[in-house]
Amino acid sequence: MGLRTCSDAGFISKLFFWWVNDLLFLGYKRELTTNDLSNQLRKSDSSKHLGYKLFDLWDEETTKGKKPSLFRAIRKQFGFDYAFIGLLPFFEECGIKIIQPILLGVVIQKLEAQTPPYLEAGIIILASILNVFTTHWFYFCVQNVGMRIRIATSCLIYRKCLRQLCSPEGRLLNLLSSDVQRFDQSSVYLHYLWIGPTNIILVFYILYYYFGIASLLGLGILLIFTCLQGFFGIMFSILRSRTADCTDRRMDFMVNMLKKMKQIKMLGLEDFYGKKCRELRRQEVGVIGTTAYFRTFNLSFFYTSVKILFLITIWWYNSLDTSAVFVMLSFYQNLRGLMTNSFPNGVLQFAEARVAINRIQTYLLEPEQEPLGGTNEKLTEISVNMKNVHLKCRRDPLNLNIMNGEIVSIIGSVGTGKTTLLQGILGEVKTGESVISVFGRIAYVPQTPWIYPASMKDNIVLNAHFDPNWYEQVLHAAALTDYGHVSLGNLSGGMRARISLARAAYSRADIYLFDDPFAALDSRTKRHVIQKLIQELLVGKIRIICGGDGRMGRVVALDKIDREFRRRQSMAVQDPSSTDREEIVKKVVEEEEVIGKGTVRWGTYFEYFHTGSGPIGIIILLLLSIFAQISFSGSDYYLRIWDKTGDTATGIRTYGVMVIVIVILSLLRCLFFFYVCLNSSVKLHDQIFSKVSRAHQEFLVMYGKILNRFGKDMCLIDETLPSTFLNAFSVLLNVTGTVVVISIVQPLLLPPAAVLSLVFYFLRRFYIRTSIALRRIEGIVRTPLYTLISSTGSGLSTIRSFKAEEKFLSEFTERLDTHSSSWYINLATSRWFGIWLDWISVLYTIIVIATFLVTVSTGSDVGLVISSVLALSGTFQIGARQSAEVENQMVAVERVLEYSKVPVENFDEGESDVLVSAPIEFIDVSIMYNDFLVLKNINLKINRGEKIALLGRTGSGKTTLLKTLYRLADYSGEIQFNGLESKKIKLKKLRSSLSIIPQDPYLFKGTIRNNLDPHGELTDNDICRVFNRFGGFFQGLDSFVEEDGKNLSQGQRQILSLVRVILKKNEILVLDEPTANLDWRTDQLIREALDEFCSKCTVITVAHRIWTIAHYDRAFLIQDGGLQEIPVPQVEDADSVPEELQDIVA
C-alpha cells in the first residue's frame, strides 16, 4: 500500500496536513528514497499540464502585433489563483492583528480595575487559533503557485533551448537553476506590497486615538524606513541582475572546462584554468559582497525599528499610560514584521522576479532555428537543391541539385566550409541570399559525435519506434554490439562515431548528412561501415558525405584540392564487432548519487563557520549576538521598571541609550555575520574547484553532479543561507530572551515553558529527519536535470535533425516532475511542522492569559507578558521553521564539503623534478577496467629520437596506452623515462614534459594567440615562425576563437593544436590520430612541419593512414590486449603492408 497523497486526503486531513503523517513516520523510521515520493505530485501540478498551457499563452504573445510579455502570459495562467490567495494574509494582517492589540488594552484596563476580562481573553485566544490556519494555508498555497510558475517557465525555457540557434549551456543552467527559483521565493511576499500600506492606515488611525499627533511622528519615521527599504529593493534588483550575469559566465566556464578535463590535464592547463575561474569568481563575489552589505543594513533596521519607533513616539507624547503603551508596542511589533520584513521582502522579491522574468524573456525572444527554403516533411520527390550558396573559398556561388538515391562526396581543404554547408542544409546557419530547399526527412551525423547519457539502444533509437529486427541490422551494419549503458567519459572516438552512424541509419530518413564520419574508424571498420551501412542499408537514399579521404558517387570540390588520393582496392569485409575489448567493460551511464543519512552533523556547521572566520571569529560572533539580545530583552524589561517609577524624563533618556546600544550591536552582528558567511562561501568554492580540477579522470565523468554543486548548491550558500541562518539564529535568541523576561515577571510561567520546550525539541527531532532527507533527495534529483540540459545544449543540431525535440521535452518534463514531487512534499511537511509549532504557541498563550486571570498582577506586568507572548506566537514557528530550513540548506554545504574531500592527483608526489626524456620503456604494463584486462604485459622500449606508430582496431586500447604516459589510467608494471620510474616523477613535471595532440582537439575562448601560448611565455616572432606556415587557414593571431573552437572547422582546430605542440618544444611528442579530420594535402603539410620543427623529437603516434607513418622507424600492433612489432608499411609498395594491417590502415 502506497503513502497517502494530498489528492487522496479528506477536508480535515488537508486542513491540518495530516496526510503527510505517513511519510513523516516512514522518514523517522528509515531513510527515504526517491521511490517514496513517486506519486506525491498532483496531476494539476505536472510539467506537461502547466508547461503546455504556458506554451500556448506565450505563442499567443509572440504572434500578436504588440511586444511579447512573459509577465502577461504568466498572469493569464496563474493570476486569478494568486490574487484569490491574497485574501488570507489580508484577513490576518488587517483583521486578526488589528483586533488583538486593541483587546490587549481592554484586558489591561479591566485587570487594573480588578474586573475579569473573560470575553476579551477568549477572543484573543480564538484569533490566535484562526491565525494558525490563515498563516499556513496562505504560505502553502502561495508557494504552490510559485512552484507551478517555476515548472511552467522551466518547460518554456527548455523548449526554447531546443529551438534556439545557439544555446550556451552555462547560461541555460543558470536560468533553470537560479532565475526560475525566484518564482518560488517571490510568490510569498508580493501580496504584502498592497497589504502593508492598508495595514499602516488602519494602525495609525487607531494609534491616533491613543496618542494623538505623536502617532504621526511614528508614522513619519516608519515611512522613512519604508522608503529606505524601497531603495534597498532597487539596489537588490540591480545587484541581482549583475550577479546572475556573473554566474552565467562562471557556469559557462565550468561546463566547458569539465567536458574537456582530459585534454586540460594532458596539456597541463589546470593552473591556467584555475586563474580564469578565480577571476570569474572574484567578479561574482564582488557583487554578492555588495549585496550582503545592503542586507546588513536591511536586517539591522528590521531588528531595531520597533525600539526606534516606540522611543520617538513616547518622547513626543511625553507620558507613559500603561494600556496605551502596550497597545502601541503590540501594534509596532506587528508592523515591524510587516513593514520592515514582509513589505521590503516584497519589494526585493518583486525586483528579483522582474529581473528573472526579463532575463528569461530576453532568452525566449532570441533567434530560433528555422528550416530554410523547403520543408522537412515527406513530399513526392526527395531532393536537396542549392542555389547561389556563397562559400569563402569559391569565387563563384555553388549551385547543386541532389536527387533521391544519389551519393555526393563534398571535398575540400580545411576551413573551406564543408561543415557550414551541411549546417545550412539543416537550417542551423543563415545563408544570406543563398537558397537551400530540402524535401524529405533528414538524419545528421556530426563531425564530433553526440552521445547523451542513456543506453546504447536509447542513443540509437532516439525518438523512433523500436523495431528489434531493424535494430539488429543497423548494429551489424555499424559494426556494433549492444553492451547496454554507455559511459560518456570512457567511449573511444570510434565507438562514438559508430553509435552516431547507427542512429542516423536507424531513423529511416530520406536524406543523410555525414560530416567526416569515418575519421575515427580504422580501415577495416571503415570499409565495413561504408559497404554495409552507406552502400547497402541506405541504398536509394540521398547521402551527402563531407570530408574524409575516400570519395563515393558524385564528387563536389569546394576548392582546388589536390586530386591525388590513395585508396586501397581491397574491400575484404569481416565482422569487426567482436574485438571491441575496451568497450565491453564500459557500461555505466549515470551513477546514482549516494543519499546522505541522518541529520546534518554539528561538524558541518563548525566547518562552515571555521572556514569563514576561524575559532576566534566564531567566539566574536557568538558574543556580539548574545550581547545584542541581552540589550534587546533588557529594554523590554525596563518598561516594567519605568512604569513603576513613573519618571518619564529619566525613563526616556535611559531607554534612548539602550536603543542606541541595540542599534550599534545589531549592526555589528549583522555585518560580521555576513562577512563570515561570504568568506566561507569564497573558500568553499575555491576548495572544491581546486579538488575537482585535480580529481582523477574517472570522477570527472560525472559532470552533471559536479555542476549541481557549482550551480544550485553554491547559489544557496552564496545568497540564501546567510540570511536564513541569521534570521533563525536571531529568532532563537529572541524567543529565549522573551521566555526569560516572561519567567522573571511571572515565575509560574517557567514550568509550562520548560515542558513546551521539551515538546518542541522532540517534535523538531521527529520532523527534521524527514525534512533533511527530502532536501537531500531534492538535491539529488536535480542532477539528472542538469545532465540532460548539458547534453541537450551540445547536441542541438543532432536532436533537431532527427525531429527528437518532443522526445527530449518529454524526458525533461518527466525529470522535472520527479524534482517537483520532492519539492511539493517538502512544502507540505514544512507546513505540518509550522502548524504544530503554532499550536504550542497557542497553548502557551492560553496558559499565560489563564495565569493572569487567576493571579493578581500590575497592568505593566500583564501588558509586557501578553504583548510578548502574542509576538512570540508568530515568531516562534517562523524561527523554528527557519532553523529547520537552515539545516535543510546546510545540506548544500554538506554536499560541497563532500566534494572538497575527493581524492586528487598529487602533483608533488615523486622525487624527481626535472623534465623527462627518452628512452621510454614499458615493462610488463597491464591495465584493467572493471575486473577486465584491457592491456596485458606490454613490453616496449622507445629510443631517443625514435618515431614509432601504434596501430590497432577501434577500441583496442591505443589511446588507453597513451593515457598511462600521463598517469591518467591506473596500471601495473613500470613505465620508465630515461631509466626513472614514472611514478617517481612529480606529476606536474611529467605532464609538462610531454606534448600531445589528442583525438578531440581543444581550444578555449580567446584569441588564437592565447590558445597557442596560454601562459604568455613566447614572443610574437616565436609564434609566427610556426604559425605562418599555416597562416592561410586563419585570419591572424588576434582572430577570436569561441569556446571549444566552435567557430572553426575540426581541421582548423587540429592545426592550432599542432602549432601549440610545436611551440612547446618538448622532446617527447604524442600524436593521437592528429590528422584524422584533414585532407591529404593538409596532412602532408603537417607532416612536413613536424619533420622541420620536431625532427629530433621522440614521437609516439596513433594513426590509421599509411602515409602518416610511412617514414617512421618502427610500428606496433595492439591486438587482443597484447603488443607486437610489425614492419612499417610503405605508401609506394602496397605489398609492404603486412596482412594483419590490411584491415586497419588505409
Write the pLDDT tens digit of every residue in 579-599: 343 333 333 334 445 555 666
Residues 6+ positions from 277 with CB-CB distance below 8 Å:
250, 253, 254, 257, 689, 693
Compare 1132 and 140 and report the one with higher pLDDT.
Answer: 140
Check whether 483 has a pLDDT greater than 80. Answer: no
Beta carbons of 611 and 683 less than 8 angstroms apart: yes
Mean pLDDT of 1013-1018: 82
Confidence of residue 969 (pLDDT cuts 50, 70, 90): confident
Cα dihedral 45, 49, 54, 59, rounded to 10, equals 170
Report d(CA 309, CA 224) in Å as an integer.
11
Three-point CA angle 511, 516, 520, nearest 5° = 130
Which residue is associated with the grid cell 495565569?
851
Beta carbons of 521 and 510 less than 8 angstroms apart: no
Report d(CA 825, CA 755) in Å as an integer.
30
* Residue 112, SS3 per DSSP: helix
Beta carbons of 93 and 338 less than 8 angstroms apart: yes
Per-residue confidence (pLDDT) for residue 561, from 0 to 100? 43
Check whether 845 has a pLDDT greater than 60. Answer: yes
**Percent over 90 (pLDDT), the chain:** 15
Per-residue confidence (pLDDT) for residue 376, from 0 to 100? 45
Confidence of residue 565 (pLDDT cuts 50, 70, 90): very low
Among 999, 993, 1009, CA closest to 1098: 993
pLDDT one-digit tens code per residue, 871-887: 777 677 777 778 878 88
pLDDT one-digit tens code per residue, 282-315: 999 999 999 888 888 878 877 788 888 888 888 8
Angle between helix 721-745 and helix 750-794 axes, rounded to 10 deg: 170
Sheet order of strands, 383-389 included: 398-403, 383-389, 435-439
Per-residue confidence (pLDDT) for residue 682, from 0 to 100? 92
Per-residue confidence (pLDDT) for residue 620, from 0 to 100? 92
Sign of CA dihedral 1104, 1106, 1110, 1116: positive
Highest mean pLDDT among 674-688, 894-908, 976-990: 674-688
Which residue is associated with the grid cell 523548449?
159
Q: Which residues pair with 455 in a beta bridge?
A: 485
CB atoms within 10 A of CB 750: 14
Check whether 401 has a pLDDT greater than 50. Answer: yes
HSE, side-chain direction, 13 A CA sphere, residue 649: 0
Confidence of residue 571 (pLDDT cuts 50, 70, 90): very low
Report d(CA 945, CA 979) in Å as an integer.
16
CB atoms within 10 A of CB 454: 18
Report d(CA 298, CA 310) in Å as an integer.
19
Per-residue confidence (pLDDT) for residue 144, from 0 to 100? 93
CB atoms within 10 A of CB 1109: 27
φ/ψ of 433, rounded to 5, equals -80, -5
φ/ψ of 1040, rounded to 5, equals -85, 140
Q: Supply 404's cell numbers.
A: 533521391
Query: What HEC string does 9-64 produce?
Result: CCHHHHHHCHHHHHHHHHHHHCCCCHHHHCCCCCHHHCHHHHHHHHHHHHHHHHHC
Check whether 942 has a pLDDT greater than 70. Answer: yes
Global pTM reads 0.73
Report d(CA 328, CA 215) in Å as an integer.
9
Beta carbons of 1000 and 263 less than 8 angstroms apart: yes
Check whether 377 has a pLDDT greater than 60. Answer: no
Report d(CA 934, CA 927) in Å as an integer.
6
Sign of CA dihedral 417, 542, 793, 590: negative
Three-point CA angle 492, 495, 498, nearest 5° = 150
Confidence of residue 934 (pLDDT cuts 50, 70, 90): confident
Report d(CA 297, CA 288) in Å as an integer.
15
Per-residue confidence (pLDDT) for residue 568, from 0 to 100? 33
* Residue 857, SS3 per DSSP: coil
Q: Is the peptide bond before 919 cis (omega within 30 degrees of 0)?
A: yes
pLDDT one-digit tens code per residue, 197-210: 899 889 888 888 88
User: Please, what is the end-to-end C-alpha distance for the chain in angstroms?
Assistant: 63
623-635 b/e (C-beta count within 10 Å ≥ 16 → b): ebbeebbbbbbeb
Report d(CA 1043, CA 792) in Å as an integer.
17
Q: Report the mean per-residue pLDDT for the chain.
A: 82
Highest mean pLDDT among 158-167, 678-687, 695-704, 729-738: 678-687
CB atoms within 10 A of CB 38: 13
Concatenated DSSP letters of 558-618: SS---------S------GGGG-HHHHT-----PPPPPP-SSPPHHHHHHHHHHHHHHHHH
Per-residue confidence (pLDDT) for residue 567, from 0 to 100? 37
Per-residue confidence (pLDDT) for residue 900, from 0 to 100? 83
Mean pLDDT of 723-734: 87
Confidence of residue 574 (pLDDT cuts 50, 70, 90): very low
Check whether 1136 has a pLDDT greater than 80. Answer: no
Concatenated DSSP letters of 1046-1078: TTS-HHHHHHHHHHHHHHH--SEEEEESTTTTS
Residues 6+ positions from 238 with CB-CB distance below 8 Å:
none
Confidence of residue 572 (pLDDT cuts 50, 70, 90): very low
